[in-house]
Structure 1
Amino acid sequence: MSTKRANSLEEVIDIVKDGDTLIVGGFGLCGIPEKAILALAEKGVKDLTIVSNNCGVDDWGLGLLLENRQIKKILASYVGENKLFEKQFLNGELEVELVPQGTLAERIRAGGAGIPGFYTPTGVGTNVAEGKETKEFDGKLYVLEKAIKGDVSFVKAWKGDQYGNLIYRKTARNFNPLAAAAGKITIAEVEELVRDSALDPDYIHTPSIYVQHIVEEDAYVKRIEKRTLREKQLN
């Protein structure tokens, strides 16, 4: 197997072009590919369609691309942490498709699995189902949802090897394996790039076939969206 290691994100970020559909792993700010997002913000590509669970916060994560006016459309399930998102949407600067969270995950998974669409009961009788085909199974109505594929996917993993095999850490796994599989080209950033054969095959979450480029990064910020503190309780 040939190595997929790149020395820096700058070497591979030019893969993303104006107008591309970009699938981005992460949940809130947990497990987001923050270094790839920063590199993309510096590059300045525009008219992007972003597929992600949410759009970061005003000054971090995908919120940085919003600030640069690089996003044309976003498909997400939750957008409540970003005032800039709200402003751009209300001003008609941003096209938004809200997708139920489980449906979004399955649409991305289906894209990676080569499944063009699936039926789900989620959203039947609501705005989510408007303009979509519905079908009855066993007396229950379902709506047809189409798979999502990306021109490029960004994912963040805990460990990886030079061939592109990835291991995620705890809840930071979230949408990352789905995103990795659904991109035509997947760029993975990892906290630790290990030597050959150092990863136990039984513990690999994303196999190398889904990854085209892997980059080792450090000094991660790993911000928390909402930090809540309480005074120490005395006995």
Structure 2
Amino acid sequence: MNDRLRLYSYWRSSAAYRVRIGLNLKGLPYELFPVHLLRDGGDQHKPAFRSANPQGLVPVLEHGQRMLRQSMAILEYLDEVWPDPPLLPATARDRQRVRALAQLVACDIHPLNNLRILQYFEREWHVPQPERDEWVRHWICDGLDAFEAMLHDHPSTGSFCDGQVPTIADACLIPQLYNARRFGVDIARFPTIARIEQACLAHPAFDEARPEKQPDAPEKSPG
């Protein structure tokens, strides 16, 4: 199999951020192909990108001749094709817990503050910006409250969400915290999450994946 990897990404996309973390944790070199989600109505809506992903969403990971879609499926694909170091724990019980944490973010928090949802609110229902931001904060805090409860005093919680090495749970959590801060959420209200965030951001794989370090990130102001 041709192991050339190209990641279609947007610097501020939470889902693409997850996959950048996963690729970095695996130590896999990849070419980053920026897809600007805002400029000229969004590159994701153009026919060239729709041929890569009919949903018009990032990330897409091109592996040889294959187009891989959906960040969670991509992360598990990476773990199956390049199993070392693992992104999931060794036992079925612990893998279930890690998947549950990851999906709490990917399935329950993130979709409710996704760019296309907020754009629909603005375009179709003319919801003012303050109300849109309040919607985002409500669902982020609702989800992170549950995430914190699932971590707090659990015997499997360590320096990271599960034990002493990062997993897909951490790869999902950190981008969501970046997003939370954009909307004014105080992460200090989630002490276990805040502690794990510091451990993650000190890890080179997470540090290199930060949005502000991506080649398509604006130098000064977000866009």
Q: TM bucket by the smaller chain?
A: under 0.3
Q: Which structure carries more strand by proportion?
A: 1
**Of the two, which has the highest radius of gyration?**
1
Q: Which structure carries more helix by proportion?
A: 2
| TM-score under structure 1 length normalisation | 0.23
